[in-house]
Structure 1
Amino acid sequence: MGIKHLFKQTSGWLYLNSSVGRNQLHGAGVILMLHRVLSNDRAADLPHRNELCVGPKAFDHLLGWLTRHFDCVPLMDILQPTQRPSKRPKVALTFDDGWRDNAMNAFPLLLKHQVPASIFLSSDFIGSRQRFWWESISETLWGTHGEEPRMHLIECLQQAGRPLPGLLDNADADRRSLALLRFVQSLKTLTADELNRLTDECPTDSMPQALDWQQVRALENSGLVRFGPHGASHAILTGLDDCTLAQEIRRSRDALQNGCNRPLPVYCYPNGDNDARVRQQVADHDFPFALGTTTGIYRGDSEPLALPRFGVSQRVARNPQLLSWRIYRGARA
């Protein structure tokens, strides 16, 4: 363990356990952002998965750590508190996209620790075989589906003017995975149609990537999980014209109202991208709150349509003291 890493862990632990830290966090809320919980930790360790994925052992460890240091509460208990502030800071878990593994791998651990969570659904994907482009492209390029599909996709990317960097042939798995992460992030500048065409060139998975509505209702009926919209098609909202933007927000809102008993009055921006125009449209569709991806503590005076969250990667889930360091930095901001 490096000195810098050890310093962050120690400082974060001291902050959470000091009177200064407790005073600064009194009445505050910490909102965490997760995406996926995979079936094993080794798969989540690679850089191209690390940011959006955690493994079950790491997630179990994170939940145990959170329950020792925080009051784990539903998101709305932070946004619209009905009780007096407790002596411990509050934390709420949110999951973006609506991955199938939220039900298969995350929920049993949430149930074990009795930690509530909010899942934000990209509604077009729920109950369909439509795929999340970044997952299909990255795993195909990683070789998960074999060499022939990988080479075919590489050829398609070259034709689209997006040739792979040389580092993706590196023998070192971590370096190759990091290069893949950066390359897939660079594809976000492509249009939705271009990304869909590339996704169609990837092998069809045997199982849908997203939850279905039966799973959504089962999780909701547990009383531990609530759902909110994360766009319909997961389009980046800031890139849409006014008419398409309104349709995207309305379609996702209506899908949740039809598919859930108590959808959250909270919108979650795909990729976190928002601006004044997008926020106004979200407000016009009767959402008093919306989640972004900027880092910070919620104290009740934040912009309600761009709420801060702390992202949780596999590395952070394995070492939650790193999260306490980030909370410390966020509390000072």
Structure 2
Amino acid sequence: MAIKQLLKRTSGWLYLNSPVGRNQLHGAGVILMLHRVLANDRAAELPHRNELCVGPKAFEHLLAWLKKHFDCVPLMDILQPGALRSERPKVALTFDDGWRDNALNAFPLLQKYQVPASIFLSTDYIGSRQRFWWESIGETLWGTHGEQPRTHLIECLQHMGRPLPALCDDPDMQRRSLALLHFLQSLKTLSPLDLNHLTDACPQESLPQALDWQQVRTLEASGLVRFGPHGASHAILTGLDDQRLDEELSRSREALRHGCNRPLPVYCYPNGDNDARVREHVANHDFSFALGTGTGIYRGGAEDPMALPRFGVSQRTARNPDLLSWRIYRGARP
């Protein structure tokens, strides 16, 4: 595995520093997808956190690397017609959900390196006591809040027919974390009602998780950050009927209009899930663009504006950004 990673990192470095790579990326835009920036890197390295979390040292390393190889620009500088004409490839940072640590841990580093970012808010959570199920359930099962809450949640899962795998008690931290990651992924098939029930069974110590509206306004006033909607309740849009879909879109749009001065004309699909019906509804709510989770670079017109590609950033790729350049190479191929 180490040799494979080394080959990817070397190939990524060669790609960004070769005439072929620079030619392929000329006039292109790269949109990065992040979620959380935790307070320390060791916590972010665990498998059940790695994909959604980066640590502050890894994030700072990523920002310095991006500044070296790209023009770091606001998202709309990539999406607006004619905006991609540049000697260097452009990159835009996006954050999904609206985690509080975006303000506490990410924003000071964005300021330090003067890198703009767009944050897409699940608006029902902003300034409220609602919690994201993945974080609440995952950290409770990890034991972050103590053994008694963990035991209570395990009992609730058993009643739902979702017993916790034995590997989630493995004494090896990495194996235990990896088993928890796979278990959390399996819970995505539960109904929103069941996930809410499990989240309610988690302790209140996990609050608050999301930004509040004062933090949103402070970040927006800096000129470095703009905001867009990532759903209202973070419901998976493809699972909603037309009426509930329109209600979800309207509620998130109105919340941004009241909470921000310049909300983005860009929608960000929860979990990346979309289809032709969802894309049509999003466009009918006056969104010119929408972000998915498909991988690829943006060439300005070749892609469906309602399903734009992004590259996800994990702790692993933030710490080793040449792995990211290898993924960009893969996504840039004709």
Partner of 1:305, secondary structure, is coil
Shift of 1:207: 3.9
Shift of 1:2: 1.6
Q: Percent identity?
A: 80
Q: In the alignment, residue 17 of structure 2 is paired with which amino acid?
A: N
Match of 1:8 in 2: 8
Task: Check 1:127–1:266 CA distance in 2 against 1; reply closer, same or farther (3 A cut).
Answer: same
Shift of 1:85: 1.3
**How does 1:1-333 map onto structure 2 within 5 Å?**
2-81=2-81, 83=83, 85-205=85-205, 207-300=207-300, 301-333=302-334
Confirm or deny: 8 A CA contact 2:31 2:92 kept in the other structure: yes
Shift of 1:206: 6.0
CA distance in 2, matches of 1:161, 1:179: 18
CA distance in 1, matches of 2:118, 2:84: 22
Q: In the alignment, residue 330 of structure 2 is paired with which amino acid?
A: R
- CA shift digits 1:69-117 (9 cap, x unpaired): 0000000000005556111100000000000000000000000000000
TM-score, structure 1 normalization? 0.99
- CA shift digits 1:201-220 (9 cap, x unpaired): 00002641000000000000
CA distance in 1, matches of 2:323, 2:32: 13
Partner of 1:157, secondary structure, is helix
Q: In the alignment, residue 145 of structure 2 is paired with which amino acid?
A: H
Confirm or deny: 8 A CA contact 2:297 2:331 kept in the other structure: yes
CA distance in 2, matches of 1:295, 1:317: 17
Task: Check 1:206–1:48 CA distance in 2 against 1; reply closer, same or farther (3 A cut).
Answer: closer
CA distance in 1, matches of 2:155, 2:4: 42
Shift of 1:125: 0.2
Confirm or deny: 8 A CA contact 2:35 2:96 kept in the other structure: yes
Shift of 1:171: 1.0
CA distance in 2, matches of 1:51, 1:206: 20
CA distance in 2, matches of 1:205, 1:33: 28
Moved over 3 A (4+): 81-84
CA distance in 1, matches of 2:81, 2:295: 21
CA distance in 1, matches of 2:139, 2:33: 22
Partner of 2:205, secondary structure, is coil
Confirm or deny: 8 A CA contact 2:29 2:84 kept in the other structure: no
Partner of 1:307, secondary structure, is coil
Q: For structure 1, list consecutive stretches of 5 or more residues without a partner in the other structure.
A: none
Partner of 2:204, secondary structure, is coil
Task: Check 1:199–1:82 CA distance in 2 against 1; reply closer, same or farther (3 A cut).
Answer: same
CA distance in 2, matches of 1:114, 1:82: 23
Confirm or deny: 8 A CA contact 2:36 2:99 kept in the other structure: yes
